[in-house]
């Protein structure tokens, strides 16, 4: 999950869940992904408005 996050940091927990399910063929609940992101101290960074 760390590799997926460092590739594109604007991915949220829902997008990461879809990528994990699609690319790695794992059944993962979005709540679990959110919990792991919080435990790792990983937060989504969005572009700021101008």
**pLDDT of the residue at 39:** 93
Dist CA 2 CA 7 (whole Å): 9
Owning domain of residue 21: 2-40
**pLDDT of the residue at 21:** 92
Structure pTM?
Answer: 0.73
**pLDDT of the residue at 49:** 77
Three-state SS annotation for the chain: CHHHHHHCCCCCHHHHHHHHHHHCCCCCCHHHHHHHHHHHCCCCCCCCCC
**pLDDT of the residue at 11:** 81
49 lies in some domain: no
5-48, pLDDT tens digit by residue? 777 777 888 988 999 999 989 999 999 999 998 998 888 877 77
Domain count, the chain: 1
9 lies in some domain: yes
């Amino acid at each position: 999950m760390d590799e997926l996050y460092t590739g594109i940091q604007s991915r949220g927990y829902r997008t990461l869940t879809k990528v994990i399910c699609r690319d790695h063929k794992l059944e993962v609940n979005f709540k679990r992904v959110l919990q792991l992101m919080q435990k790792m101290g990983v937060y989504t960074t969005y572009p700021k408005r101008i």
